[in-house]
Structure 1
Amino acid sequence: MDERDDDASWDELRREWEALAALGEAVPELGIGSGAQGSPFPEDLRRCPLVLCVAPEEDPASLLAVVAAARRVPELIAVVVESQYASMVRALLTACDRRDVTVTARAADVVTAVDGRIRWVGTDNAAPLLSVCEGFRDVATRLRVTQVVPANASSVGVLLSLLSAEGVPAPELVPRSLCARALTVQPGESLHLLLGRNLLACAGLAAIEVPEGWWARTAKSPIRLTAALALSAAIELPYLDSDLLEWPGQNRMPWTGVDVHTDAFIQWLHQAVAIPRS
């Protein structure tokens, strides 16, 4: 399917959405079109640049999201990561033949250099997103945010307050507790092994500087696939079901993940991060 086919499909979905909304408003007793009534048709973000913010210290599996984005998202323009993990991320991107992607600890440098809408996918560390929203309000209105809910509850409140300003679209939140057992991978399981194999595969392409003890801890600890799930939602794959939910202390409801099609998601992730055969 080429881009013209994609555009035709999107236009067809828009027409169906508008028709359902009109019918639901005209004949409310039918109970149809409730999702479309009062809501604008979703934006077409397929060709918008994407920035991925990862935190390997707190979330080693976020590196699987880096590999998946490098291979499956041509619009990936940058990975924001703490400087001590920059060489590891750069090596993974190089192994995926994505030397075009910027690796930086300074999120503002990336988003302020881009015009138009930007898809932002954030994992455990919400600090870079907070700094952008606080320091560059004009940029915040152009961000389309999919964010893993930080473990720090106060960060969630501050983040939602910043993202509730006028002109800023409601973010999509991915709770870490969502389908916790199904999205947790134990040492020795295939996706856990693929994390190590991807790092091993790129070792010959670049010198990887790993903070002392990081791999020893990671190799024997479970990992959670929430970052890759957030990525899949941001690129509009159908694995995460979200709904508008109330959050304490917030007067605006963000989209929040409520269920995961785990089997289909894990199959997609397997295919995205598998080591290509030479």
Structure 2
Amino acid sequence: MDRPQFRRQFLHPRYWALWLGLALLWLLVQLPYSVLLGLGRGLGWLMYIGARSRREIAARNLELCFPQMSSAERKKLLKENFASTGIAFFEMAMSWWWPTKRLARLAHIEGLEYLQEAQLQGQGVILMAVHFTTLEIGAALLGQRHTIDGMYREHKNAVFDFVQRRGRERHNHDAQAIEREDVRAMLKVLRAGRAIWYAPDQDYGAKQSVFVPLFGITAATVTATSKFARLGRAQVMPFTQKRLPNGGGYKLVIHPPLRNFPGDTEEEDCLRVNQWVERAILGCPEQYLWAHRRFKTRPPGEAKLYSKRG
């Protein structure tokens, strides 16, 4: 995919409000990191109050995944999760616009040698990630140290799409943005010995999934991880990221490649993926994207787990 280019049509009056909002965000993000964390928590509180549907989805997910917790414990976790989501808004802007040296000071990266070794061997890598709220800044911090390609879905607003892609790709000068449905391009990238960010932890429906447990709940789990690994002749390296307390930055960990993966069956592979996703989430549950309807798709005959509104 070609690099994003500024076009004259972006100056049309219908985009002026968006440009103004982006300019104000740019100004805000120049503030000290500690201040941005505080602003993010405040934004998260407003989202908790106002985004009723998303709050109900997240609360239902916590109820399903952590039945051993008391209602008070889950409510506390829910509020912390919305605070993390609010912070993520400013982290997105930081990753797009902060000077690279300022951003790099926040990174604490472990396991980079696994990616480097695979690159020397010409081995493609599926960087198996999870949808944490720190997703945007984590990709930016890792992208400063190693080229990673990414799955991409074009935004409906042309200006926002331009700004978003420009901000993301400045950390990876030779990275490729691959359309999410372009399987051929993804396999080509893997066979060329490149690394690609991929997260298999969301519900994409039953068509290309199998049902295996996640936190004890039957979940439609995409089979693409093992298919891409097999057809792309690629290693699968789990990747986790965590916002550290007290403004300590971010811990990014590239874990050793999975052994004997793919396995004998897709069900076995998907179960391994979900078990890893569980462990990753338990490392910082307040930073996971709980507002996604992870258990929306049910096996035939099973009742729905979410209300119509949530």
**What range describes the TM-score normalised by the shorter chain of this pair?**
0.3 to 0.5
- Higher RCO by CA contacts (8 Å cutoff, separation 6 or greater): 2
- Higher helix content, 1 or 2: 2
Q: How does the TM-score come out when normalised to structure 2?
A: 0.31
| TM-score, normalising length: structure 1 | 0.33
